[in-house]
Structure 1
Amino acid sequence: MSFIKANLENIKERITQAAKACGRSPEDIQLLAVSKTFPAEDVRTCFDSGQRAFGENYVQEGVAKIASLQDLRAEIKWHFIGPLQSNKSRDVAENFDWVHSIDRLKIAQRLNDQRPSNLPRLNVCIQVNISGESSKSGVQANDLIELCKHISELPNLLLRGLMSIPEPTDDVAQQRQAHHELRQLLEILKSSEELDQSKMQLDTLSMGMSSDIEAAIAEGSTMVRVGTAIFGKRTYL
């Protein structure tokens, strides 16, 4: 058994146990394998081990990987989860199935305008700067409803929910608090009379990574983004 397959099975077991511990069904939590910096061959190994959803942080690397694995394109869902600059939006709009990191209307508008007409609507999440870190991307909570209003009017995008990358901590209580705050924001959106719920599908909380899966699941995560615990330690050039 490859180490990737073994790691994948370990993560799935962690998800299962975390879900059971808080009375949730493991089937309600999707695992996103974050393959940034790892070669297409590792993605293929992970695919052969049963994984079907992959996340990429860098546009050029992600697009190259998608092209390299074109024979698997019909079965893989590709998620863009990194910061997105305007000059890279076309590549994302043309190649990915999901974008988790929208934090301003300009990017959403460009993705909408550049989404090919032969492709389904692009699933999007709004990234919230839940910990208020100046170094992190993400919309502030008090600007969230207004951004949702505008995105919901874009015909080639489907707003699915929220994403966050909280400030790292080993304190489980702090982990849970950050995830709890994002969950509360989603609940506010789902009950807001200012938003036309028929134009959105608010069913996604993209939160939790290798170090805080259990806390995220306990607070309602529907999609955990795991890289290191599947592919190993990253080497940045």
Structure 2
Amino acid sequence: MSEAIALSLARIHARIEAAASRAGRDPAGISLVAVSKTHPAEAVTEALAAGQTVFGENRVQEAAQKFPLLRESHPALRLHIIGGLQTNKARDAVRLADVIESLDRPKLALAIAEAMVKENRRPELMIQVNIGDEPQKSGMARAEVAGFLRACREEWDLPVTGLMCIPPAERDPRPHFRALAAMAKELGLAKLSMGMSGDFETAIEEGATLVRVGSAIFGARPYPVGA
């Protein structure tokens, strides 16, 4: 497994550099978030051995099982929570994560603010935007982002550093990435988490500073029997 993951990481980094070159960007300004959801801790260890230090998890429960022990031996490890977050998991997320990318509603903002006080810890936050205005998808409505960001800062003193999105499936993602980049610029936010295994190069060309790549690094996800 170690050679396969190391080779996949090398290929992804080469593609990141090529996409950055096409866009006239410095690849050093683009962070690869290796999405390890449903993959075992051993796969994360192999990626760490290959030099990868930034990981993303969808579920807080899974992150709690994998990452505390890994941090002891790899203090440079950084963990992003990238999946939908329930308010009753906010304290666990604050305790575990360095970045929470899925802030998308006032109730969650309040829960995170309270958790930060209790845990004496302030992970970075990113607002998840429903960039395609899809009724079935999580994320803050585009028209509400500016007001929500203002409330996050003024009412809850939250360290919001950027925006995240998942564009509509089976459509050209470029206009959606471009719209998120324009929104971030207008709001004065420096970080943009956009792009996954199938479209991260396009996201880089449109300004992504973080790309979330899972299957292209770790392979197909090993879903449990019956899932």
The superposition leaves residues 10-44 of structure 1 with CA deviations (integer Å, 9 ceiling, x where unpaired) of: 00000000000111111010000000000111101
Cα offset for 1:94?
1.2
Q: For 1:147-158, what aligned pairs fall within 5 Å after superposition?
A: 147-153=148-154, 154-155=156-157, 157-158=158-159
Partner of 2:101: 100
Q: TM-score, with normalisation over the residues of structure 2?
A: 0.93
Aligned residues: 222
Q: For 1:135-150, what aligned pairs fall within 5 Å after superposition?
A: 135-150=136-151
Other structure's SS at 1:38 match: coil
* Alpha-carbon separation, structure 2, partners of 1:102 and 1:73: 27
2:168 is aligned with 1:167:
yes
The CA RMSD measured in Å over matched residues stands at 1.5
Gaps of 5+ in 2: none
Partner of 1:211: 198
The superposition leaves residues 38-85 of structure 1 with CA deviations (integer Å, 9 ceiling, x where unpaired) of: 011110110110011100001100111112313235211110000011
Aligned equivalent of 2:183, options 182, 185, 208: 185
Q: TM-score, with normalisation over the residues of structure 1?
A: 0.89
Partner of 2:219: 232
Partner of 2:15: 14
Q: CA, structure 1 residues 70+24, in 2 after alignment: closer, same or farther (shift >3 Å)?
A: closer
The answer on whether the counterparts of 2:91 and 2:119 sit within 8 Å (CA) in structure 1 is no
Other structure's SS at 1:42 match: helix
The answer on whether the counterparts of 1:209 and 1:225 sit within 8 Å (CA) in structure 2 is yes
Q: CA, structure 1 residues 119+15, in 2 after alignment: closer, same or farther (shift >3 Å)?
A: farther
Q: Which amino acid aligns with 1:223?
A: L
The answer on whether the counterparts of 2:43 and 2:218 sit within 8 Å (CA) in structure 1 is yes
Other structure's SS at 1:17 match: helix
* Alpha-carbon separation, structure 2, partners of 1:160 and 1:130: 18
Q: Which amino acid aligns with 1:22?
A: A
Other structure's SS at 2:83 match: coil
Partner of 1:109: 110
Greater Cα offset, 113-122 or 97-106: 113-122
The superposition leaves residues 160-183 of structure 1 with CA deviations (integer Å, 9 ceiling, x where unpaired) of: 1100001123x6xx2211100101
Between the aligned residues of both structures, percent identity stands at: 41
Cα offset for 1:118?
6.5
